Homo-oligomer: A and B are copies of this chain.
Amino acid sequence: MPKKKSGGRPARKAGREGPVVGRIVSEARDVEEKIAKGKKPALRFPVRSLQNVSYESQKGFFEIRGRTKERTLTVNTVKTFAQTLRMMALSKELVETDDIATKREAYYVSKNWGDARFAEQPESDTVIEDVEALFRVNREQLGFVPEEKGGDVAGELVVIDRDTETGQELKIDCRKFGSGAYSIPISVEHLGFETRARFILVIETAGMFQRLVKHNYWKKASCILVSMGGVPTRACRRFIRRLADSKKLPVYVFVDGDPYGITNIYRTLKVGSGNAAHLNEYFCVPQARFLGITPQDIVDYKLPTHPLKDVDIKRAKDALKNDPFILHHKPWQRAIQQLVQMGVRAEQQALAKHGLNYVIDEYLPQKIGHPERFLP
């Protein structure tokens, strides 16, 4: 095979170039013109911290406020400034050639940037996040993708993708994976969807997902099953969001009944996280509702429990005190207080006490009959 660097690959019609390349070029031109006029060039980034964030339930996500910081080219900032411009150039190349780079790969690519190379990956990650915030787009739109995979899907859904080489449309029928599933790719911006499902059921554990797949639960309930495998990755959140938006589907979330399931997994899925607030607009699922396991389920379904650990109690108390999402929703405050008072937690799989398929035959049908009772 001929020796080619990524830049040497022919550009493919990906429909992804859109406005990003234009904005990179325009920002770079400003810098160039300032320099040509003998002035100091500057780049302006939004401040990325919880102090520069607000929450409104109509918007549905932690939103970044107006505060910005400026990076002016000086003797002290020259290296970071050069690295930022280099990273913008890499992004432009990625988008133009329809290629991708993980944050890790971007770090290694910099090893050929001479004095502008990064010594450690956290430095290059910060610059990628700066560029992301600068253009107010998500990293995937700049061609940078996460290391981690997305999550699994089965059920009443056809995903529309394309062959990257031929551009040919591919229809991926998630009803026809048998006991397997469709694995969400790292970047999902280009996917289309066809579905007649009534809702999306998002599940915490791979074990519970496998049970529902094995028994074709999605067929009975006419739904799409998504397995998060713990705290959902960006790709998984973005996939659910794009699917729910484009097909106007409600999203029901089925996780363990413990502070981690509520304040980490569910909260992150629904409104995003605090330390990536410039991205939550893309990576939140505001239509998500909490099906269970609720603290009241533990009582109603007489579930076997485990005592709350110290870390659970700390997490719950922190959320009651500091989490803007919990502070916004009274029903959540009551539910978390109830959990702390009971002093126990229960897992999704605790329903197996009543028989392995009680979850399919009783619990889920009872719950899904009354979405108005779901926690917000």
* A binding-site residues for B, Cβ under 8 Å: 1-7, 9, 99-102, 104-106, 108-109, 111-112, 145-149, 152, 159, 161-165, 170, 172, 176-187, 190, 205-207, 209-211, 213-216, 219, 227, 229, 304, 347, 349-358, 361-362, 365
Nearest to A105 among chain B residues (CB) is: B352
- The reply to whether A349 and B161 form a contact with Cβ atoms under 8 Å apart is no
Q: Which 4 residue pairs are nearest across A and B when measured between Cβ atoms?
A: A161-B178, A5-B355, A6-B356, A179-B185
User: Which residues of chain B have C-beta atoms less than 8 A from A227's C-beta?
Assistant: 149
Measured in the bound complex, the distance between the Cα atoms of B358 and A112 in whole Å is 13
Contacts A179-B187, A207-B104 given: A9-B145 contact, CB under 8 Å?
Answer: no
- From A358, which residue of chain B is reached at the shortest CB distance? B5
Main secondary structure of the interface of A (DSSP, over half): mixed
In the complex, are the beta carbons of A5 and B357 less than 8 A apart?
Answer: yes
Distance, CA A229 to CA B146, complexed state (A)? 13
| B181–A210 touching, CB < 8 Å | no
Q: How far is the CA of A293 from the CA of B99 in the complex (A)?
A: 23
In the complex with contacts A100-B211, A207-B105, A178-B163 CB distance below 8 A: yes
Question: What B residues does A108 contact at CB under 8 A?
Answer: 304, 349-353
Q: Please determine whether A178 and B172 come into contact, CB atoms closer than 8 angstroms.
A: yes
Bound Cα distance from A157 to B22, whole angstroms: 40
Q: A178-B170, A349-B105 are in contact. Are A207 and B361 (CB under 8 A)?
A: no
> In the complex, which residues of chain B have a beta carbon less than 8 angstroms from the beta carbon of A161?
177-180
Question: Residue of B at shortest CB range from A353?
Answer: B111
Q: Which one of B9, B216, B347, B361 contacts A3 once the chains associate, using CB atoms below 8 Å? A: B361
Q: Residue of B at shortest CB range from A185?
A: B179
Q: Which residues of B contact A211 (CB under 8 A)?
A: 100, 102, 105
Contact of A356 among B105, B179, B353 (CB under 8 A): B105
- A145/B207 in contact, CB under 8 A: yes
Distance in angstroms between the alpha carbons of A185 and B100 in the assembled complex: 28
B207 near A356 with CB under 8 A, answer: no
Which chain B residue shows the least CB distance to A209? Answer: B149
Which residues from B are CB-within-8-Å of A106?
352
A365 to chain B, nearest CB (A): 5
User: Judging by beta carbons under 8 Å apart, are B179 and A172 in contact?
Assistant: no
Subset of 19 A-B contacts with CB under 8 Å: A2-B361, A5-B358, A99-B356, A100-B211, A108-B350, A108-B352, A109-B355, A109-B356, A111-B353, A112-B353, A148-B206, A149-B210, A159-B180, A161-B178, A179-B190, A180-B185, A182-B182, A185-B210, A186-B207
Q: Are B180 and A356 neighbours in the complex by a CB distance under 8 Å?
A: no
A362's contact among B1, B7, B177, by CB below 8 Å, is which?
B1
With A and B bound together, what is the CA distance between A135 and B187 in angstroms? 45
Select A164's contact among B109, B145, B215, B354, beta carbons within 8 Å.
B215
CB-based contact B178/A5 at 8 Å: no
A170 near B177 with CB under 8 A, answer: yes
CB pair A182 B185 closer than 8 Å: no
B185 touches A183 (CB 8 A): no
User: Which residues of chain B come closer than 8 Å to A186, judged between CB atoms?
Assistant: 179, 206-207, 210
Residues of B within 8 A of A7 (CB): 355
Q: Which residues of B contact A362 (CB under 8 A)?
A: 1, 3
A105: which B residues are within 8 A, CB to CB? 207, 211, 349, 352, 356
The listed residue (B101, B163, B165, B361) touching A352 by CB distance below 8 A is B101
- Say whether A172 contacts B165, CB under 8 Å: no
